[in-house]
Amino acid sequence: MVTKAGERREERETQSRIKNGIASCGAIVIGLLLFVLPRTEAWVIIDLSLAWLLSLYCVWHCWGLSPTWRKRLGFIVLHVIFVIGLSYAVWPRIRVSPTRISFEGYPNETFNFSVRSERSDDVYDVQIPFLIGYNKHLDNKFSAKVTPNGDPQQRIHDDYNYCFGKDDGGVHHVLPNEREVLIVRIGHLAPFEVRSFSITYGGGKKLETNPGTPSFIAEPYSYSPMQATMGVRGNYRICKFAIATDGLVGK
């Protein structure tokens, strides 16, 4: 014979399973939206946060298992690890390949690179830094060329800049043991577009370098062929601009 206390317990367990199911379905639906809507940084954060909040009820009740504090702690840790792993996997990136190059020192040695946007929206003025080293003074031995993609070309543009050190309030001369960085610039990357560029080393000592984390902006600069925007983002003491205009290159 089922007692009233047993009936109330079974009713609570049934309600808990129903709530778990509703929360699970809601979290799954919101999680799936992550792969449908534009995958920008803000949307990734909002989507995963909402999915986490909806699933929190299930976590607290141990997904229908007999809840204990140890189980609850374990489920919370697992959910945090899952959300962090998923956000890392879907976070929009700009990937550069290859990830490391080794110059043997031959004259005019050239490496070709591909740049892929893994974002679902356009990005502009993409800047890819290559750490050359310290106190090498190789600014006159490097050049870079970005392959056009059909966008309107400015009359004046710079495919790369060579920068020194960190910004300390407007000092405009190179100091001993300065960090040296070659910065390649790509004006526009469409969603999931692949672009290419090359880096040429004039020759000398062997050198290894790798592309750093690219930076970009969301709003385009003017596409007017009579205008140009120059400069780099980041903490650099001074930059040497490689300016190209009408097929001529100047520095």
Residues 99 and 86 in one domain: no
Terminal-to-terminal C-alpha distance of the chain: 93
pLDDT at 27: 66
CB 117 within 8 A of CB 187: no
pLDDT at 22: 60
Q: Residue type for 206, please? A: K
Among 90, 105, 134, identify where a domain stops: 90
Torsion angles phi and psi, residue 59, rounded to 5: -65, -45
pLDDT tens digits for range 171-186: 567 777 788 999 999 9
pLDDT at 75: 78
Please confirm whether the linkage preceding 152 is cis (ω < 30° from 0): no
Residues 127 and 153 in one domain: yes
Would you say the pTM of this structure is higher than 0.85?
A: no
- The residue among 200, 171, 178 whose CA lies nearest residue 107 is 200
Residues 180 and 140 in one domain: yes
pLDDT at 224: 65
Residues 79 and 103 in one domain: no
Q: In what order do the strands lie in the sheet with 215-217?
A: 215-217, 123-134, 179-189, 156-164, 238-245, 248-250
pLDDT at 231: 74
pLDDT at 38: 62
For the residues of the chain, what is the DSSP string, one character each? ---HHHHHHHHHHHHHHHHHHHHHHHHHHHHHHTTTS---HHHHHHHHHHHHHHHHHHHHTGGGS---HHHHHHHHHHHHHHHHHHHHHHS--EEEESS-EEE---TTEEEEEEEEE--SS-EEEEEEEEEEEES---TTSEEEEEPP-SSPPPSEEEEEEEEES--SSS--SPPTT-EEEEEEEEEEE-TT-EEEEEEEE--SS-EEE-B---EEESSPPP--TT-------SS-SEEEEEEEETTEEE-
Residues 129 and 61 in one domain: no
pLDDT at 130: 94
Structural domains of the chain, count: 2
CB 33 within 8 A of CB 50: no
Among 57, 90, 123, identify where a domain stops: 90
**Residue ranges of the chain whose pLDDT lies below 50:** 248-251
Q: Helices 4-33 and 41-60 meet at what angle, rounded to 10?
A: 170
pLDDT at 23: 61
Among 90, 112, 143, identify where a domain stops: 90
- Half-sphere exposure of residue 228: CA atoms within 13 angstroms, side-chain side: 15
CA angle (131, 136, 140) in 5-degree steps: 85
Residues 144 and 182 in one domain: yes
List the domain range (segments joined by +) for residue 181.
94-250
Residues 50 and 141 in one domain: no
Residues 52 and 109 in one domain: no
